[in-house]
């Protein structure tokens, strides 16, 4: 057990000897052991002249040695880097724990003294393996420094985080690579790195090639590869630059000995990347790269349950797709090695490591970050922004823009595990209709299947399922079903076509010996389709097509696709080799790569599962979206549990099996904000919680918040009480209905935001800091968020309150419902929030198009528009609207859309049709409201004709009965 590492109990393994002799509480202070005397001679009196001369000599040697080390360090460092490296040892305070040295221990004493001068925040872990008690002997065998963390009183680190400080860490002279040559290329530079001294991990790659590509003015790519052997690379499509950036906003510098890369922002000189802070490792199964950070404000690095802003106080985030209910400090369903970082003056930058192997990302308070992965190559991007929204747009340009969702995807979805029959499912749908509660989509979980077999339905309990789907379609509603990747392998030969045909086509993942790998999931023993093979995609389509002929489903919910396995590995276990038991295993739940999934040695078409594991959900989503396009000939709707970068091109995501608890309500906001950063804007959490009994008040508040998830679904678990809106009291039912109707009225806003996500890489649910990057108070906000740039959502996240505290950045804000104005200087304000209300505010300078809501989006989207303009103090506002048929594929790419701009200035609103399509001719603008009209007008003109109007004391001007065609330009003016 590493005594400075806080681990889950299942990660800790001790031998009996360790337990009896060496185990101590993780919070206990461990003194630095004193070295044994090197000399066997009797001790001389401490006051002897000889001893005095020796002490003076040692001091001189220490001073000279320190000067020599400092000189070497200075000579090898890049220019102007001092503020971005660990603080100079000369300025650091020596810890209280001192080590006495004997006459012959001068070198060791000098080394220990040098080690002690490295501040705790800048100590990079030299012994990261888990399940090991790191002793001084083990540490120094790696030529590393060993110093137990100082007491809280002498440490700048918070006491609660003290156990994360490495006791074994790299000295500044730890051997690394040297840059022996560097040459210019058409895209940047290419150089050779050489390591003279092997590391303590096997299969060091001693010669590397580094290639720096100046791909665009705001995007830098760096690749570190083995020039002698090809290694696994992530098989996703990324842009191929053809020429070097002409005016890059970055400066790249190199440190030759030891090798390091420094990337600076040209405009400010801010250092965005500095890999000289710790040694580079590049062994076959251990690759490590560290960098300093500009600040402690780090976001992204999904998928983890945490606050939106990550904690940099010795925080390890592990990436390896895993089936586990969301919990803190463990790897979850997806892997996204991308971070967004705020740096000086409100600027932002991003970093993306294109690697799919199991990895740890370590954040430490220097601030600094370490990437530690066990395969592939080091292929990374730096995005210059400079604002947060630009960083995400640049990242999404690399991984792929998210798909434009079909219109009904943005409606209200209802599901549960445990309807038990199709008739029971049908009754719930009817109850919502009868209550006037909008619903676009009904789902079924695995209980619809016959013995949990994919592509089947229980003919007894769900015999009326085809009729249910027909009824949904007759009411302009849609049907989505769950599919798990595990295909039953234990049915009678010839009785289950998906497995029989899969064997014939050879579509299943194989074990290390080439046999079909068999695991266990809901139907019992199962085989796993290999979605890295195009043959499997065709087999998947055929199965979906055959089932669609029986049950004409509209979308797919792909679950358990990490892939999940109720066994560890397979029914035959897994081989004992370095793929299953690598020299270093990241901090994955269960401690083994095969924990609750298939063997790492399993064989797939493109590579071993060791490399492909976290890509499984992405590849299944790609196969599913492709099949749906062919089957329904419309935009595919797919929601996936496991995700990887570029997933947004094929599917949305829900945040997994959450709980019916207030904390889960709160953490869902961080989840949806993070996935919007990661290029998957169609994201939501299970409204009211998946497991545990739902509470009425919680469900009401969750429905209000869930109405502003980009993807809105209520879902709960088997044996739990129903939690659909009509299952609660009339008061709660009414509050939920109001929240959902509010969402439906805002469909034009949401649909337009998804258009901008699809075309420009924008976020939909947006962190407040994106719009106020110079306001540091917004950097940690994750109890509020924005839709786009102007609609501020402030939900209630606590029980038994009728108010909510929210932060309002400096500026003018308007209550969405009333138009009452609020001037803020950047302050927290308490808002009235009865049970039937979620607080919404409009930011000054915005035009928001809304519609009268109805029971489905098909009906709502045909209703007249109401335009709400929130004027700035200068009387200005702007907004836009994207409109098409809502379901055809690639309408933007094929110019089958309308796009309209709205502007208000000097008491005149104008609409400008920038692109026209027949769909817009069916929509009219019926009313317009203007918040912040400072004086009552004497006259209002619509297209130069007098119009009736109303003006309220809170400075709201409303013009009704307009009847304006959306596809034609118009003006509304007042005087």
Q: Provide the token pair at 547.
A: 């089932």
The pairing of strands 478-483 and 441-444 is: parallel
Residue 843: name the closest of 859, 862, 821 by CA: 821
The active-site residue out of 303, 323, 559, 880 is 559
Q: Provide the token pair at 50.
A: 């000889």
Tell me, yes or no, if 328 is annotated catalytic: no
Cis peptide before 258 (omega within 30 of 0): yes
Q: Distance between the two ends of the chain, CA-based, in angstroms? A: 76
Tell me, yes or no, if 805 is annotated catalytic: no
- The rounded distance, in Å, linking the Cα atoms of 207 and 209 is 7
- The rounded distance, in Å, linking the Cα atoms of 449 and 557 is 14
The active-site residue out of 303, 562, 580, 919 is 562
Q: Residues near 707 by Cβ (< 8 Å), separated by ≥ 6? A: 739, 740, 742, 743, 838
Q: Which whole-number Å values give the CA distances from 886 to 475, 557, 749, 850, 892, in the listed order?
A: 17, 20, 14, 16, 11
- The rounded distance, in Å, linking the Cα atoms of 603 and 583 is 21
8 Å CB contact between 479 and 469 = yes
Helix axis angle, 696-706 relative to 730-745, nearest 10°? 10
8 Å CB contact between 324 and 280 = no
The pairing of strands 638-640 and 487-488 is: unpaired
- The rounded distance, in Å, linking the Cα atoms of 438 and 436 is 6
Q: Which sign does the torsion angle of CA 54, 55, 58, 60 carry?
A: negative
- The rounded distance, in Å, linking the Cα atoms of 824 and 52 is 69
Q: Residues near 126 by Cβ (< 8 Å), separated by ≥ 6? A: 139, 142, 144, 145, 166, 168, 169, 170, 174
3-class SS of residue 637: coil
- The rounded distance, in Å, linking the Cα atoms of 186 and 205 is 27
Q: Provide the token pair at 888.
A: 């055809």
Q: Which whole-number Å values give the CA distances from 411 to 33, 136, 443, 476, 853, in the listed order?
A: 65, 60, 13, 12, 11
The pairing of strands 964-965 and 924-931 is: antiparallel
The pairing of strands 898-905 and 908-915 is: antiparallel
Q: Would you mind telling me the total number of residues written for the chain in this entry?
A: 975
Contacts 24+ apart (CB under 8 A), 525-530: 525/488, 525/489, 525/490, 525/571, 526/486, 526/487, 526/488, 526/489, 527/486, 527/487, 527/489, 527/499, 527/502, 528/485, 528/486, 528/487, 528/563, 528/598, 529/485, 529/487, 529/502, 529/620, 530/604, 530/605
- The rounded distance, in Å, linking the Cα atoms of 40 and 693 is 72
Q: Provide the token pair at 913.
A: 């049709």
Residue 302 is classified by DSSP as: E
DSSP 493-547: TTS-HHHHHHHHHT-B-B-TTSSBPEEEETTEEEE-B-TTSHHHHHHHHHHHHHH
Which residues are marked as active site? Answer: 559, 562
């Amino acid at each position: 057990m590493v005594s400075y590492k806080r681990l889950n109990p299942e990660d800790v393994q001790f031998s009996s000897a360790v337990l009896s002799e060496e185990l101590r509480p993780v919070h206990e202070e461990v003194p630095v052991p004193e070295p044994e005397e090197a000399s066997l001679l009797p001790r001389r009196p401490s006051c002897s002249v000889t001893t005095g001369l020796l002490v003076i000599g040692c001091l001189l040697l220490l001073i000279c040695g320190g000067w020599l080390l400092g000189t070497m360090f200075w000579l090898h460092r890049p220019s102007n880097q001092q503020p971005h490296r660990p603080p100079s040892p000369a300025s650091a305070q020596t810890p209280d724990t001192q080590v006495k040295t004997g006459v012959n221990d001068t070198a060791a004493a000098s080394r220990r003294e040098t080690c002690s001068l490295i501040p705790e925040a800048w100590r990079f872990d030299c012994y990261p393996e888990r399940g090991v008690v790191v002793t001084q002997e083990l540490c120094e065998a790696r030529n590393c420094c060993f110093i137990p963390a100082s007491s809280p009183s002498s440490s700048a680190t918070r006491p609660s985080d003290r156990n994360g400080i490495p006791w074994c860490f790299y000295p500044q002279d730890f051997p690394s690579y040297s840059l022996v040559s560097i040459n210019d290329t058409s895209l940047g530079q290419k150089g050779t790195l050489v390591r003279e001294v092997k590391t303590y991990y096997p299969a060091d790659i001693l010669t590397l090639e580094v290639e720096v590509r100046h791909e665009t003015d705001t995007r830098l790519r760096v690749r570190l590869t083995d020039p002698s052997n090809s290694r696994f690379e992530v098989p996703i499509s990324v842009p191929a630059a053809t020429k070097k950036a002409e005016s890059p906003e970055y400066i790249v510098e190199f440190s030759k000995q030891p090798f390091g890369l420094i990337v600076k922002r040209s405009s400010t000189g801010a250092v965005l990347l500095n890999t000289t802070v710790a040694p580079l490792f590049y062994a076959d199964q251990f690759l490590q790269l560290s960098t300093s950070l500009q600040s402690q404000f780090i976001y992204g690095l999904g998928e983890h349950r945490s606050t939106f802003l990550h904690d940099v106080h010795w925080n390890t985030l592990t990436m390896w797709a895993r089936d586990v209910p969301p919990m803190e400090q463990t790897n979850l369903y997806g892997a996204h090695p991308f971070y967004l970082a705020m740096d000086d003056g409100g600027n932002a930058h991003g970093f993306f490591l294109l690697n799919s192997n199991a990895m740890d990302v370590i954040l430490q308070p220097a601030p600094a970050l370490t990437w530690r992965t066990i395969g592939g190559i080091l292929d990374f991007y730096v995005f210059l922004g400079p604002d947060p929204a630009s960083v995400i747009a640049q990242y999404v340009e690399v991984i792929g823009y998210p798909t434009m969702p079909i219109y009904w995807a943005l409606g209200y979805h209802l599901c549960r595990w445990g309807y038990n029959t199709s008739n029971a499912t049908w009754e719930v749908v009817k109850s919502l209709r009868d209550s006037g509660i909008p619903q676009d989509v009904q789902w079924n979980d695995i209980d619809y299947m016959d013995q949990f077999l994919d592509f089947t339905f229980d003919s007894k309990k769900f015999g009326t399922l085809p009729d249910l789907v027909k009824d949904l379609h007759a009411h302009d509603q849609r049907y989505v079903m769950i599919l798990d990747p595990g295909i039953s392998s234990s049915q009678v030969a010839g009785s289950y076509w998906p497995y029989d045909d899969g064997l014939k086509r050879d579509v299943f993942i194989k074990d290390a010996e080439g046999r079909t790998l068999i695991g266990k999931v809901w139907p019992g023993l199962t085989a796993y389709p290999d979605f890295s093979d195009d043959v499997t995609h065709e087999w998947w389509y055929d199965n979906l097509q055959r089932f669609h002929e029986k049950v004409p489903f509209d979308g797919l919910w792909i679950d358990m696709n990490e892939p999940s396995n109720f066994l560890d590995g397979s029914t035959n276990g897994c081989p004992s080799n370095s793929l299953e038991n690598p020299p270093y295993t990241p901090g994955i739940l269960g401690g083994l790569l095969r924990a609750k999934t298939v063997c790492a040695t399993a064989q797939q078409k493109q590579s071993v599962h060791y490399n492909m594991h976290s890509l499984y959900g992405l590849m299944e989503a790609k196969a599913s979206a492709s099949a749906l396009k062919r089957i329904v000939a419309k935009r595919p709707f797919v929601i996936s549990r496991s995700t990887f970068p570029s997933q947004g091109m094929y599917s949305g995501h829900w945040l997994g099996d959450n709980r019916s608890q207030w904390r889960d309500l709160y953490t869902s906001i961080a989840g949806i904000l993070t996935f919007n950063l990661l290029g998957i804007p169609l994201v939501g959490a299970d409204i009211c919680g998946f497991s545990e009994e739902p509470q009425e008040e919680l469900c009401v508040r969750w429905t209000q918040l869930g109405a502003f998830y980009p993807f809105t679904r209520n879902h709960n678990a088997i044996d739990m009480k129903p939690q659909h809106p009509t299952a609660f009291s009339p008061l709660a039912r009414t509050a939920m209905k109001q929240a959902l109707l509010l969402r439906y009225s805002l469909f034009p806003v949401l649909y337009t935001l998804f258009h901008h996500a699809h075309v420009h890489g924008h976020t939909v649910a947006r962190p407040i800091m994106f719009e106020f990057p110079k306001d540091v108070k917004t950097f940690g906000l994750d109890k509020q968020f924005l839709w786009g740039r102007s609609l501020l959502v402030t939900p209630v996240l606590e029980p038994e309150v009728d108010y909510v505290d929210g932060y309002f950045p400096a500026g003018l804000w308007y209550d969405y419902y009333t138009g009452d104005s609020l001037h803020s200087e950047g302050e927290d304000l308490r808002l009235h929030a009865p049970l039937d209300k979620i607080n919404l505010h409009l930011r000054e300078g915005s035009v928001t198009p809304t519609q009268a809501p109805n029971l489905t989006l098909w009906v709502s989207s045909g209703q007249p528009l109401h335009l709400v303009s929130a004027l700035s103090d200068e009387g200005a506002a702007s907004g836009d609207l994207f409109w098409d048929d809502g379901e055809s594929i690639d309408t933007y790419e094929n110019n089958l859309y309308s796009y309209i701009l709205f502007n208000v200035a000097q008491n005149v609103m104008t609409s400008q049709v920038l692109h026209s399509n027949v769909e817009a001719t069916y929509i009219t603008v019926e009313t317009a409201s203007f918040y912040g009209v400072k004086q009552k007008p004497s006259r209002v003109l619509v297209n130069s004709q007098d119009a009736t109007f109303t003006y309220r004391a809170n400075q709201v001007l409303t013009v009704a009965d307009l009847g304006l065609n959306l596809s034609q330009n118009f003006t509304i003016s007042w005087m």
